[in-house]
Each structure stands twice: as structure tokens, then as C-alpha cells.
Structure 1
Amino acid sequence: MISAAASLTEDQWIEVLYNRFRIEVSQDRRPALHRAIGAYAQSIGEDNESLLAKALSRQLSAENWSKIIHLATNHETRFFRNRAIIDQLCNYAETFARPRVLSVGCSTGEEPYSIAIALAERGLANFKVHGIDVSEDCIATASEGIYKASEAIPSRYVKEVTNGHLRFYDWLKDFVTFSQHNVMSDRPIGFTNPSVIVTQNMLIYYRKEARHRILEGLALGLPIGGYLITGPSEDAGWKPTDLQRLPVPTASVFKRTQ
């Protein structure tokens, strides 16, 4: 049984995460998050309450925040998780002479590498894929480019490292870059004029108003003719005035028209 003090601390963490990052944690994940934060606090010589006190007084370091955000979000992903969306994305990318694809909420990098492979499979050689995620731990994993063996990855793109782990060849990694970024901040992403922006399973952590704000911020970076893709219904009824919603059944797709 959860004590009243523990329940209060749990609720306060949820409030802090929402107020600072607009991240929502589902009811069923809150106890596990509370335990995970407690374990992390112990690993750095703190307890849950003292770490929370620092968070409330804005005394937590960027490293501490990065770890807590990592714990608060779900990083489950896999290569070619949604092949239909990747194929649609590639169709759009092919209409640009130098495709630039931005993967938002890229987790540990499986989506950006999947996109790079899909573009390479179509014979494209002059493209860039950039992945961003709020978790520095995820970005570190993605930048390393070492993963457990997966049948979804064609063997010509990877070499075996050890113990069933594979590493992408440098020539493929040269097409893909990563950076840590919080989409709720006003800080520039650092990847300009993306031809296509894609975000899947990231907006689900935010309320409707926050989702719309995130999408509006992302759309500002699109050139005329650029595309913004989200998972089905993840846009929460967003109705931009300068983007056209396209009739795509497998995703929510918007195209900048002006």
C-alpha cells in the first residue's frame, strides 16, 4: 500500500513534469515512475523527497533533469516500426533535390536510421536525416549506432560488433545526425529547412493545447512544399491556416502551401 507521503511526492513529480515540460504521465505509469525516480535518487546519494525539493526550487542540474525526463517517457521503438508512414515519407522526400528529414522524438534512433535505409534503398544519395529527442541518454545511444541484431535491417548496412550487436557502417551514419532538444522550448532545433518532419508516438505525452503548440512550432521551420507527418490522430484536431491537410489514411499529413 502506498503511503500518503509517497502518494503526495508522486503527485508533485507529475505536477513538476507538466509545469516545466508539459509532459503528461498516464495514471498507470505513475507508480513505476515514482519508483524509478527513487532508485535514481539513491544512485546519486539523494532520496526522492530531497530530489523533488531541488526540482521545486529549480536547483536540479541539467544532467539530473535529463535523467528524470528519460525515466518519464516511454522509449519503446523498433526499426521500421510503421513501414506505411516511412514509405509515404520517402515518396514526399523524393520530390526534393536534397531531401532533409527531421525525426522528432526519435528515441534511441531506430526511426532516423530506418528512414535513411529506406531512402538509400530508393537510390537517393544526397539526403540528410536528423533526429531529436528530449532524452540525452537516448541521443547518446542513437549517436553510437550500435543495436541488437534485427532481421529488419538489411545486412549490407551493418557489421557485427560483438554478442549479437550490430553497428551501422560509417557511410550510412554520415547521412544521419542527432541532437538533444525539448520541443516545448523556444530554442532553435539547429536543423534548418526540413523537407519532411515526422513525429510518431511523441505527442501522446502532451495535452491537446501543448500538441498544437508543438506542431505550430515545427511547422514554422517548413519551407513551402514541405510536409509534416504525425501518427494517426496524434495532431488532436490541429487546424493550421497555412498548411493543407492531405487525405492519407495511415497518418496525419500536412503540406505547407504558403
Structure 2
Amino acid sequence: MVLSTAARLNVMKRDQAQIPNMSDRQFESWRAFVEERLGTHFPLDQKSRLQSSLTIRMRELDYSDYDQYLQEVSAPLQGLGEWLVLLDRLVIGETRFYRDSNAMALAFLVMKSRLKRKKDRSLSIWSVGCSSGEETYSLAFLCESLFKEMELEPRYGVTGIDVSWGVLGKGRNGVYEKRRMIGLPKAWSKTYFDQLGEDSFQVKDYVRKHVCFSKQNMRDISQSPLKNQDLIYCQNVLIYFRNELRHKILDELGDRLSLGGVLIIGAGEALNWSHPKLKRVDDKRALAFQRVHD
């Protein structure tokens, strides 16, 4: 039976009515739980976003009580599997190729400067909070373009990290719908992708072999083995953390730059923060810091 538009809307309204609005007490319990697990902070004005993410999953499980669902998800062993599923609902997945052209232009200049100065003519790049890989591959495309321009054999590695297995899987596959490639320079679309179908494109193997994806909770960034990075790209990720944790993450990232390496972050993400080994880069295109001391 095919439902009319009006009928479908009525069904949606009925389903939504099955789960009541989250109380302030329930919101406090849930945001404390999420912040403990992820470090991500939900201010009061984002209550509706948290509630929306939860109710989508609760409907799938036929739950109607936030407290009952929290009890299940927080169970030491039994709740782990469900937490991993819910995690994919909670993680912000807003990303696209070449999202910030100004920041990417600065990244290219940083890469070029580093490549000219390094004897081994190689680059190590870290894409922090990479989501489904668009940012990570954009950095790889910049590397490919740079090595070709300098007539050098491509020797680079780009590591993308995120907390969600779901988005990391998409990144590893490197397959994207045409609509996801809006904003990407047309020459790159032809050069770095194979068309799989009418609306499906995959990053070419010779690029993907330089890129890897790893699961990493930003709250536990100190456990990452990465160090001596020429470029760390971490835009629009830190805004979801409280200042104290944000500063700790920035400290860790700064310590993992090689001498002369650069950290690029989003505007407003380094308020009241400084690092004794870093200085701010004098460039209006993006907020960046360079390591100037060992």
C-alpha cells in the first residue's frame, strides 16, 4: 500500500508523539554521559540537537524513555555495542571537499615551504576530526599537485582520525556521491577520481595508498602515536569542547609538530590559548601556529 504525503506526515507525527520531550534533568544526565565518553559538550541551547539524535535511535529500538535507554547504553559490557551505534548518530558529519579554500591555500603554502626545506623531500600531515574523509583527501590532492609542480616523486602520508567507525569506513572506501564533490576544482574531479556509476566516484588508488584512517577519541589525543608532523589540520572540531579540554588538545597537537611545522585551526578555536614552542602565523586566510622551538 502506498501512503499519500498527508498520510506519511500523520505517521511521522504519531511516531514522534510516542517519545516525549526530554526533561531538563534527563538532558543533564545525557550530556554528562556524552561529555564523559567523548569530551563533546552540549550547551543548553543544543538540547534539541541532542534529543533529536537520541530519538532517531530510540525509535529504531522501540524505546520511549530516555532514562531507560541511558541505563542500557551505559551498562559496562552490554552497552558497549549500542554505544558504538549511537555514537554515529551523535557525531557531527558536516564536511565537504575543499571546505575552506583560504585555509587550504595556506596549507598548500605550508607544504611547499616544508618540502623545500626538508632533505628527504617528504611530508607528514595529520587531518584531525576527519569525518568521512573529504578533508583528508583534499589535503592529499594538494600534496599530489605540489609534488607534480616540483617534479618530485610523491613521498607523503596523510592520516585522518575520527571517533566514529562509521565515517572512517566511508573514508577508507573513498567513494562519494557527485553532490558531495561540490566545491572541488573540476580538474581534481577528473584527475583524482574514477567514476563507478552515474552518481558514484572513488578516489584513485594511487592517492588512497598515501592516506590512512584511524579511530581516535579527541579527549584521549595524548594516546596518539603520531608526532613530527609537518602540518596538522584541525578545523571546526574544537568548538564542540569546553575551553579546558580544548586547550589540552591544542597543547598536544602543538607538541606533535616537527620544528617548522604548522597547526591550522578554525577561527575562534584558540581563545586565551598560547604555547611556548609556537608562534602565530601572520596570515589572514586562516588561524595558524608554527612551531619555532624544540
TM-score, normalization by structure 1: 0.89
Match of 2:85 in 1: 67
List aligned pairs for 1:2-151, cutoff 5 A: 6-44=23-61, 48-56=66-74, 58-59=76-77, 61-94=79-112, 95-96=114-115, 97-122=121-146, 123=148, 125-149=154-178, 150-151=181-182
TM-aligned CA distance change 1:141 to 1:102, over 3 Å: same
Distance between the aligned counterparts of 1:221 and 1:112, measured in 2? Answer: 18
Cα distance, 1:113 vs. partner? Answer: 0.6
TM-aligned CA distance change 1:60 to 1:31, over 3 Å: farther
Distance between the aligned counterparts of 2:222 and 2:274, measured in 1? Answer: 24
State the SS of the aligned residue for 1:198.
Answer: strand
Cα distance, 1:50 vs. partner? Answer: 2.5
State the SS of the aligned residue for 1:156.
Answer: helix
Contact 2:194 2:203 in 1 (8 A): yes
Distance between the aligned counterparts of 1:171 and 1:103, measured in 2? Answer: 19
| Identical residues among aligned pairs (%) | 25
Cα distance, 1:187 vs. partner? Answer: 5.4
Distance between the aligned counterparts of 1:29 and 1:71, measured in 2? Answer: 15
List aligned pairs for 1:244-255, cutoff 5 A: 244-255=279-290
Distance between the aligned counterparts of 1:133 and 1:187, measured in 2? Answer: 14
Cα distance, 1:183 vs. partner? Answer: 1.5
Contact 2:171 2:213 in 1 (8 A): yes
Contact 2:130 2:162 in 1 (8 A): yes
Q: Are residue 217 (structure 1) and residue 247 (structure 2) matched? A: no
Cα distance, 1:131 vs. partner? Answer: 0.5
- Which moves more between the two structures, 123-132 or 77-86? 123-132
Q: Are residue 175 (structure 1) and residue 210 (structure 2) matched? A: yes
Distance between the aligned counterparts of 2:55 and 2:61, measured in 1? Answer: 10
State the SS of the aligned residue for 2:207.
Answer: helix
Matched residue type, 2:161? I
Distance between the aligned counterparts of 1:5 and 1:33, measured in 2? Answer: 9
1:205 corresponds, among 240, 243, 249, to 240
TM-aligned CA distance change 1:98 to 1:5, over 3 Å: closer
Distance between the aligned counterparts of 1:92 and 1:4, measured in 2? Answer: 48
Cα distance, 1:22 vs. partner? Answer: 2.1
Match of 2:268 in 1: 233
Contact 2:133 2:170 in 1 (8 A): yes
Q: Are residue 243 (structure 1) and residue 261 (structure 2) matched? A: no
TM-score, normalization by structure 2: 0.79
Matched residue type, 2:94? E
Cα distance, 1:237 vs. partner? Answer: 2.5
- Which moves more between the two structures, 200-209 or 142-151? 142-151
Contact 1:67 1:135 in 2 (8 A): no
State the SS of the aligned residue for 1:160.
Answer: strand
State the SS of the aligned residue for 1:195.
Answer: strand
State the SS of the aligned residue for 2:159.
Answer: strand
Is there any run of 5+ residues in structure 1 with no aligned partner, and where? none
- Which moves more between the two structures, 224-233 or 116-125? 116-125
CA-based RMSD of the aligned residues comes to 2.4
Is there any run of 5+ residues in structure 2 with no aligned partner, and where? 1-16, 116-120
Distance between the aligned counterparts of 1:61 and 1:178, measured in 2? Answer: 25
Matched residue type, 1:40? R
Distance between the aligned counterparts of 1:55 and 1:9, measured in 2? Answer: 14
